[in-house]
């Protein structure tokens, strides 16, 4: 009998399920059920009745069957690990509301915890506190962390909509993820990750890795990264060794799931970073397939830079009794801002010349600034070089830049040392509360939502943006 994930899966003291792919032949050649699948009868019934499996291009993860969770005995999980600090508890509600109003924070849901205004108030374990202090001595939680840490540590599902960028966002979910792992029963990491972080692109995942490697290394928690653009063999070796936290793009993760190389049945925290961008890139089916393969009583943390109808439906399906935290420029504030939209039609070879002419016409006053969006990292570097040759000081940000380089570029723009920032859409998610006179889409945006996110940087109350 082939080994399978039975009722003892994930129970301490039991052997982890073996992963043995099998190949079957019928009317059509199909990648078959593997050791984590229960529905042998359904499979054979389909083969005997001549029902061919859909093509991979038509249905994502066609060879994956959702677990029968009612038949799987899983160890209990401890989701609520938050204990409100006495300082936080005694803070008057008027002071809490004043903090939220000053930082453009809107919360909805039942029983929303108060924000924590210092590291001590968060009640983090000593190793985590030391790691934060080592990374940024004397720091306090930023706006995202202050409100989202208590929600995530309480075990509640969270929907965080961050309009004005997301500096510090990785720590906003990595810190609760680490503490969640610390509070779970000790089980071999070969059972699969406890925490799964999904992000849209390799570039975004590399930014998460940069933060996580410097932070998680001090905690003793093992992390793996399943990313496109890298050879599969090292990733397969990491999967064999096991990990507590897995960071992946949806496409690469589903491919490993189809090959039975990863087991998500023990995953109790699911993080969707930039879920709206993953939806606009066509990853909805992958996201649903992955969510179906994680335990039903998991905690789900969804991070957005905008909300659409499709995203709202996904959130409704994947979360339960969630708290929504909205940070940044609200919709009604943007409506009161004047942004003039101008379209230039030209040949590709003319774009560089048109861009310089646009800067000459628009950035005429001291303090005027511009953001240029480009599709690829190499194009960002090329544009920065060409603009400097034309006499315009410019800096660039993309996924290959270090955190120090990104911070330097943003500081140079904010203090006025340079007037132009060239950036990719993914890297732009780290821009916080940055408003400029001119936003240029050098390369066409991938979707309407992406275009909306771009022109938000030109939405300045009381002033016209272009």
Three-state DSSP at 270 gives strand
Task: Map tokens 């509600």 to a residue.
Answer: 93
Cα angle: 433, vertex 131, 206; to 5 degrees = 55
Q: What is the pLDDT of residue 69?
A: 66
Q: Which of 197, 198, 159, 203 is nearest to 180 (CA)?
A: 197
Q: What is the pLDDT of residue 46?
A: 38
pLDDT-derived band of residue 337, with 50, 70 and 90 as boundaries? low
Given a cut of 60, whether residue 412 has pLDDT beyond it is: yes
pLDDT-derived band of residue 429, with 50, 70 and 90 as boundaries? low
Residue ranges of domains in the chain, CATH in brackets: 86-328 (3.40.50.300), 332-465 (3.40.50.300)
Residue 152 CA to residue 7 CA, distance in Å, equals: 29
pLDDT-derived band of residue 289, with 50, 70 and 90 as boundaries? very high
pLDDT-derived band of residue 159, with 50, 70 and 90 as boundaries? very high
Burial degree of 270 (CB within 10 A; 0-12, 13-18, 19+): buried
Task: Map tokens 């699969």 to a residue.
Answer: 192
- On whether the CB atoms of residues 402 and 210 are closer than 8 A, the answer is yes
pLDDT-derived band of residue 63, with 50, 70 and 90 as boundaries? low
Residue 141 CA to residue 159 CA, distance in Å, equals: 19
Helical segments of 201-323, H only: 202-216, 232-241, 250-258, 275-280, 284-292, 309-318
- On whether the CB atoms of residues 215 and 287 are closer than 8 A, the answer is no
Residue 307 CA to residue 340 CA, distance in Å, equals: 23
pLDDT in tens, 338-356: 667 778 888 888 888 888 8
The average pLDDT across 22-32 equals 40
Given a cut of 80, whether residue 399 has pLDDT beyond it is: no
Residue 255 CA to residue 347 CA, distance in Å, equals: 39
What percentage of residues in the chain have a pLDDT greater than 70?
75
pLDDT in tens, 102-145: 988 889 988 999 999 999 999 888 888 888 887 777 778 989 99
Given a cut of 70, whether residue 443 has pLDDT beyond it is: yes
CB proximity list for 120: less than 8 A, separation 6 or greater: 85, 87
Three-state DSSP at 395 gives strand
Most confident of 6-15, 141-150, 163-172: 141-150
Residue 4 CA to residue 16 CA, distance in Å, equals: 10
Question: Per the structure block, which two tokens stand in for 311?
Answer: 């995203």
Q: Which of 237, 239, 240, 295 is nearest to 266 (CA)?
A: 295
pLDDT-derived band of residue 461, with 50, 70 and 90 as boundaries? low
Q: What is the pLDDT of residue 458?
A: 64
Q: What is the pLDDT of residue 39?
A: 38
Q: Which of 251, 311, 304 is nearest to 274 (CA)?
A: 304
Q: Which of 182, 347, 181, 333 is nearest to 268 (CA)?
A: 181
Angle of helix 126-135 relative to helix 169-182, nearest 10 degrees, comes to 160
Given a cut of 60, whether residue 85 has pLDDT beyond it is: yes
pLDDT in tens, 244-275: 999 999 999 999 998 888 989 889 999 999 89
Residue 454 CA to residue 445 CA, distance in Å, equals: 9
Helix (H), strand (E) at residue 128? helix 126-135
Given a cut of 90, whether residue 318 has pLDDT beyond it is: yes
Q: What is the pLDDT of residue 28?
A: 38
Given a cut of 80, whether residue 453 has pLDDT beyond it is: no
User: Which segment of 88-97, 186-195, 285-294 scores lowest on mean pLDDT?
Assistant: 186-195
- The DSSP string of 290-348 is HHHTS-TT-EEEEEESS--HHHHHHHHHH-SS-EEEEESS-HHHHHTSEE--------G
Residue 164 CA to residue 142 CA, distance in Å, equals: 13
Q: What is the pLDDT of residue 210?
A: 83
- On whether the CB atoms of residues 272 and 198 are closer than 8 A, the answer is yes
């Amino acid at each position: 009998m082939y080994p399978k994930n039975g009722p003892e899966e994930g129970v301490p003291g039991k052997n982890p399920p073996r992963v043995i792919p099998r190949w079957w032949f019928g009317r059509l050649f199909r990648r078959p059920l593997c050791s984590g699948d229960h529905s042998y009868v359904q499979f054979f019934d389909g083969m005997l009745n001549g029902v061919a499996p859909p093509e991979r291009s038509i249905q994502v993860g066609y060879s994956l069957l959702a677990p029968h969770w009612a038949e799987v005995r899983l160890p209990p999980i401890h989701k609520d690990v938050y204990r409100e600090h006495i300082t936080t508890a005694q803070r008057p509600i008027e002071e809490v509301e004043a903090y939220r109003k000053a930082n453009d924070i809107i919360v909805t849901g039942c029983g929303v915890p108060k924000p924590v205004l210092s590291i001590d108030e968060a009640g983090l374990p000593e190793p985590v506190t030391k790691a934060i202090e080592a990374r940024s001595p004397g720091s306090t939680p930023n706006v995202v962390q202050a409100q989202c840490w208590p929600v995530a540590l309480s075990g509640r599902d969270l929907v965080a909509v961050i309009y004005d960028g997301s500096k510090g966002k990785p720590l906003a979910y990595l810190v609760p993820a680490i503490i969640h792992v610390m509070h779970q029963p000790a089980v071999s990491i070969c059972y699969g990750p406890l925490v799964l972080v999904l992000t849209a692109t390799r570039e975004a995942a590399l930014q998460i890795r940069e933060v996580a490697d410097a932070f998680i290394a001090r905690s003793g928690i093992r992390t793996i990264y399943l990313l496109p653009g890298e050879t599969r063999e090292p990733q397969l070796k990491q999967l064999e060794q096991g990990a507590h936290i897995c960071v992946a793009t949806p496409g690469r993760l589903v491919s490993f799931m189809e090959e039975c190389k990863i087991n998500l049945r023990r995953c109790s925290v699911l993080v969707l970073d930039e879920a709206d961008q993953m939806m606009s890139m066509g990853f909805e089916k992958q996201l649903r397939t992955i969510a179906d393969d994680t335990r039903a009583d998991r905690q789900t943390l969804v991070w957005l830079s905008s909300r659409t109808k499709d995203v709202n439906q996904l959130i409704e399906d994947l979360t339960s009794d969630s708290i929504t935290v909205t940070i940044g420029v609200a919709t009604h504030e943007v409506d009161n801002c004047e942004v003039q939209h101008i379209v230039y039609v030209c040949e590709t070879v003319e774009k560089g010349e048109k861009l310089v002419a646009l800067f000459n016409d628009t950035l005429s006053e001291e303090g005027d600034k511009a953001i240029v969006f480009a599709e690829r990292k190499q194009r960002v570097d090329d544009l920065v070089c060409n603009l400097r040759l034309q006499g315009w000081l410019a800096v660039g940000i993309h996924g290959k830049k270090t955190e120090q380089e990104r911070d330097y570029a943003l500081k140079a723009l904010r203090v006025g040392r340079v007037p132009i920032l060239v950036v990719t859409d993914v890297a732009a998610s780290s821009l916080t509360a940055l408003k400029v006179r001119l936003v240029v889409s050098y390369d066409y945006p991938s979707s309407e939502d992406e275009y909306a996110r771009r022109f938000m940087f030109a939405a300045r109350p009381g002033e016209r943006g272009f």
